[in-house]
């Protein structure tokens, strides 16, 4: 149970906690101290304890954290066990790369379907995911609700497609279109992925090196 409003900085660190804890679990590590976990992540022990305290008390003084137990707790916090289902809008180059290479299931998300307009793709099954024509989006969502829409469509249709997803009951949009979506609904969470922003940040940092 959350004790307080959780800052976006803490939320952004939660997947990192899960990755580190999962690696430790796979390596057979049974317990770890906050200082050891912080050192491996480039954080302080105090930061670790402060972040986790937003959600409850998980460690024991003198023992540290049980790795398997804490991994499960963080997984629950991230909603990995809530049966989220996703659909991809746009099965072109980027959409297809996600279909074929990104392991949605490892994040607790089932990728159920993809939608496109190309006759070369519609009607096919890519990596076990059926591809439907985008005209079938509304009836599909009515019969098979999805909580997440993955948006990889061209910029010119991004807002219109996003609005259709929201009208179909989607609660969150993973937006790869490189534009800021403008939606009337305030209850939908949008996670923007800007590859160029990350590259330009890297460019700045290496340019500042002496």
How far is Cα 11 from Cα 175, in angstroms, rounded to an integer? 18
* Residue 3 confidence (pLDDT): 46
| All structural domains of the chain | 8-77 (1.10.10.10), 84-197 (3.40.50.720)
The pLDDT of residue 1 is 43
CB count within 10 Å of CB 184 equals 8
d(CA 91, CA 203): 30
> Alpha-carbon distance 144 to 113, whole Å?
10
Report the DSSP beta bridge partners of residue 148. 86, 172
Binding residues: 90-95
The two three-digit tokens of residue 41, written as one number? 């992540």
pLDDT value of position 60: 66
Over the chain (210 residues), what is each successive 10-residue block's mean pLDDT?
70 92 93 90 90 81 84 92 95 93 93 96 95 97 97 95 95 94 84 90 84
pTM exceeding 0.75: yes
So what's the pLDDT on residue 4? 55
Distance from C-alpha of 36 to C-alpha of 10, rounded to nearest angstrom: 19
What local confidence, expressed as pLDDT, does residue 59 receive? 65
Q: How far apart are CA 195 and CA 197, in angstroms?
A: 5
Binding-site annotation: residue ranges for NAD(+): 90-95
Percent helix, strand, coil in the chain, to 5, is 45, 20, 35
65: CB partners within 8 A, 6+ apart: 31, 32, 33, 34, 37, 58, 59
């Amino acid at each position: 149970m959350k004790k307080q409003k959780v800052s976006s900085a803490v939320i952004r660190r939660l997947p990192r906690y899960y990755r580190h804890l999962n690696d430790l679990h796979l390596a057979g590590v049974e317990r770890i101290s906050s200082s050891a976990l912080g050192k491996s992540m480039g954080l302080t022990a105090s930061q670790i304890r402060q972040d986790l305290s937003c959600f409850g008390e998980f460690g024991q003084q003198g023992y540290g954290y049980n790795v398997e137990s804490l991994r499960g707790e963080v997984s629950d916090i991230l909603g990995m066990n809530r049966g989220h289902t996703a659909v991809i809008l746009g099965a072109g180059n980027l959409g297809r790369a996600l279909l074929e290479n990104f392991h949605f299931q490892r994040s607790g998300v089932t990728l159920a379907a993809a939608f496109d307009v190309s006759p070369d793709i519609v009607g096919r099954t890519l990596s076990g995911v059926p591809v439907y024509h985008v005209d079938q989006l509304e009836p599909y969502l009515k019969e098979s609700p999805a909580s997440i829409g993955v948006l990889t469509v061209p910029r010119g249709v991004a807002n219109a497609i996003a609005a259709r997803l929201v009208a179909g009951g989607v609660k969150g949009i993973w937006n790869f279109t490189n534009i800021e979506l403008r939606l009337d609904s305030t209850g939908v969470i949008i996670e923007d992925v800007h590859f160029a922003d990350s590259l330009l940040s890297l460019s700045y940092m290496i340019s500042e090196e002496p």
